[in-house]
A = this chain, B = another copy of it.
Amino acid sequence: MERHFHERLDKLNKKVLEMASMAEEAIFKATESLKNNDTALADWVIENDKKIDEMENTIEAMVIDLLALQQPMAKDLRFITTGMKVNAELERIADLATNIAKCVLFVAHQPKLKPPEDIPRLFILAKDMVKKAVNAFVERNRELAKEVIQSDEEADMLRTKIQEELVKNYMSEDKTLIPRAISMFLAARHYERICDHATNIAEDVIFMIDARVVKHHPEILESGENDGK
C-alpha cells in the first residue's frame, strides 16, 4: 500500500509536469503568433487549449482519488493539495496564452504593428517565471520559488511601461493605430497575469515545503525567515 501510494504520488508529479509543458508550449506559440501576425498559429493555440482543459480534469480526478482512497497525512497531503492548485494555475496560464492568440486574431486584417521593445522582455520574464515555478514544485525547491515571487514586481513595472507607451506614442498619435495598440495593451496585460499565476504557484510551493502561508504575506519572505524554522 505504502509503495503503491508513492507510485501514485510520483504519477501525479509527472502529470503536473506534462501539464506544465503544454502550458509553456501554449505561451511560446502564442508569442510566435503575436510576433509574426501568424493567424494559423493563433488558431492552433486556441484549438489546442481543449487538450489542456482535458488534462486539467484528468489531474483533478487523480487528486480527488488520491485524497479519497489513500487518506494521506501532513506532508503528502500538502503535496497533493498543492498539485491540485498548481494544476488550476497552469490551466489559467494556458487560457491567457489563448487570450494572447485572440489578440492576434482581433487585428489580423490590419498590418503588423511594431511592438514596444519591452514586450519581448515581458514575454521572456513570463516564460522564465512559469518554468522556475514549476521546477520549484517538482524539485520542492524553496529558493527557486522565492526567486519567482521576487520577479513579480518587474513584471508589473514592464507592463505599466508598455501600456503608457502604447497610449502616449501609438493611440494618441494616430487613431488608426487604436485597435492594434489595444490588442498589444491587452497582450501585455495577459503576460503580466501569467507572471501573477507563476507567483501563485511559487507561493503554494513555499506553503507545501514549510507549511507556512506566504500568500498575501510578502513580508515573511523579505524577513528571510523562511529557512525551515
Residue A1 at the chain B interface, CB threshold 8 Å:
no
B185 near A182 (CB under 8 angstroms)? yes
Across the interface, which residues of B come within 8 angstroms of A167, CB to CB?
Answer: 178-179, 182
Residue A77 at the chain B interface, CB threshold 8 Å:
yes
Chain A residues 45 to 103 lying within 8 A of chain B, measured CB to CB, are 50, 53-54, 56-57, 60-61, 63-64, 67-68, 71, 73-74, 77-78, 81, 84-85, 88
Residue of B85, B171, B213 near A171 (CB, 8 A) is B171
CA of A90 to CA of B186, assembled, Å: 23
A74 near B68 (CB under 8 angstroms)? yes
B185 near A57 (CB under 8 angstroms)? no
Across the interface, which residues of B come within 8 angstroms of A78, CB to CB?
Answer: 64
Residue A8 at the chain B interface, CB threshold 8 Å:
no
Name A166's closest neighbour in chain B (CB-CB).
B182
Q: Could you give 14 example pairs across A and B, Cβ below 8 Å?
A: A57-B216, A60-B213, A61-B213, A63-B81, A64-B77, A81-B84, A85-B88, A88-B88, A167-B179, A171-B175, A172-B175, A178-B178, A182-B182, A182-B185
Interface range, A side:
20 to 34
> Hey, which bits of chain A sit against chain B, CB under 8 A?
50, 53-54, 56-57, 60-61, 63-64, 67-68, 71, 73-74, 77-78, 81, 84-85, 88, 167, 171-172, 175, 178-179, 182, 185-186, 189, 213, 215-216
Across the interface, which residues of B come within 8 angstroms of A189, CB to CB?
Answer: 186
CA of A71 to CA of B85, assembled, Å: 20
CA of A88 to CA of B82, assembled, Å: 13
B54 near A216 (CB under 8 angstroms)? yes
Across the interface, which residues of B come within 8 angstroms of A81, CB to CB?
Answer: 63-64, 67, 84
CA of A85 to CA of B178, assembled, Å: 38
Name A213's closest neighbour in chain B (CB-CB).
B57
